[in-house]
C-alpha cells in the first residue's frame, strides 16, 4: 500500500476549512484499504489583524462581505453543506473575532506529539469556535482544549505565556504565501500536488488514488 502525506494549510476560524476537514475525513475513509494517509495541519491566518482579546465577530464580517444579507446567505449555505456531513455550524454563538496565532502554536506543539493528537486538537479548535462560540485566542480555552486532547495543561499554559514558537508559526505562514497559497483550505499531497478549497470527498479520494498509482508506477520503474 502506498502512503501519502497531506499538508493541510488552514485557519481554525475558516468555516470552509472546518467543512474541508470533514470532507477530507470521508475521503480518507473511502480509500483506507487502498492508500495510507498521514495528515499534517499547517498554519494560515485569514485575519492577522484580529486582537488577542477579540473584537465583535458579526460586525467585522458584515463589513468584510458587504452587508448583513450577503453574510447571512453565505452562512446559510455553509450550514446546509455542514448538515450533509455532520458539521453543526452555530454562527450565532460566535461573539469574538479572535486572533489565531496562539491556536496555531497549540497545533504546532500537538504535531510534535503525533499526527493523531494534532488532528484531535484541530477538531476541538474548530468545534470550540464554530459550534460552542468560544474565544480560541483565550489561553484558558486553549489549555482546556489541549488537556482534553491529551496534552499536559501545565506545559501548554507555560508555553502560551511565553513567545515560544511564534516565529516558527509565522515563518510557516510566510512560506505558504510564497508558495502561492492565498486562500484556505489548501491541500498539498506529498509536497508536490495541490488541491485548493473544501473539495467534495470523491474529488479528494480520486486525487489520492491517482497519486498512489503514480507512486506505484514510479516504484516499478526503479526496479
Do 101 and 169 meet the contact criterion of CB atoms below 8 Å apart?
yes
Please compute the mean of the pLDDT values over residues 161-171 and round it to a whole number.
98
Domains of the chain in sequence order: 2-222 (3.40.30.10)
Non-local (6+) Cβ contacts of 83 within 8 A are none
Is residue 2 over pLDDT 70?
Answer: yes
Residue percentage of the chain with pLDDT more than 90: 94
For 81-104, the pLDDT digits (tens) are 999 999 999 999 999 999 999 999
198: left (phi over 0), alpha (psi -120 to 50) or beta: beta
C-alpha cell at 19: 467543512
Is residue 53 over pLDDT 80?
Answer: no
Amino acid at each position: 500500500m502506498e502512503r501519502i502525506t497531506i499538508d493541510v494549510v488552514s485557519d481554525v476560524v475558516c468555516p470552509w476549512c472546518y467543512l474541508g476537514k470533514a470532507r477530507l475525513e470521508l475521503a480518507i475513509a473511502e480509500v483506507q484499504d487502498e492508500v495510507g494517509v498521514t495528515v499534517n495541519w499547517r498554519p494560515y491566518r485569514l485575519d492577522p489583524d484580529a486582537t488577542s482579546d477579540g473584537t465583535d465577530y458579526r460586525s467585522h464580517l458584515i463589513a468584510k462581505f458587504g452587508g448583513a444579507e450577503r453574510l447571512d446567505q453565505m452562512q446559510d449555505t455553509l450550514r446546509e453543506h455542514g448538515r450533509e456531513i455532520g458539521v453543526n455550524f452555530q454562527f450565532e454563538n460566535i461573539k469574538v473575532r479572535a486572533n489565531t496565532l496562539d491556536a496555531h502554536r497549540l497545533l504546532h506543539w500537538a504535531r510534535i506529539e503525533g499526527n493523531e493528537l494534532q488532528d484531535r486538537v484541530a477538531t476541538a479548535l474548530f468545534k470550540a469556535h464554530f459550534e460552542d462560540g468560544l474565544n480560541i485566542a483565550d489561553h484558558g480555552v486553549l489549555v482546556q482544549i489541549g488537556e482534553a486532547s491529551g496534552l499536559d495543561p501545565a506545559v501548554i499554559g507555560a508555553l502560551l505565556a511565553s513567545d515560544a514558537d511564534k516565529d516558527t508559526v509565522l515563518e510557516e505562514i510566510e512560506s505558504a504565501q510564497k508558495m502561492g497559497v492565498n486562500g484556505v483550505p489548501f491541500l498539498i499531497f506529498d509536497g508536490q500536488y495541490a488541491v485548493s478549497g473544501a473539495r467534495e470527498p470523491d474529488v479528494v479520494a480520486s486525487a489520492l488514488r491517482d497519486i498512489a498509482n503514480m507512486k506505484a508506477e514510479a516504484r516499478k520503474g526503479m526496479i
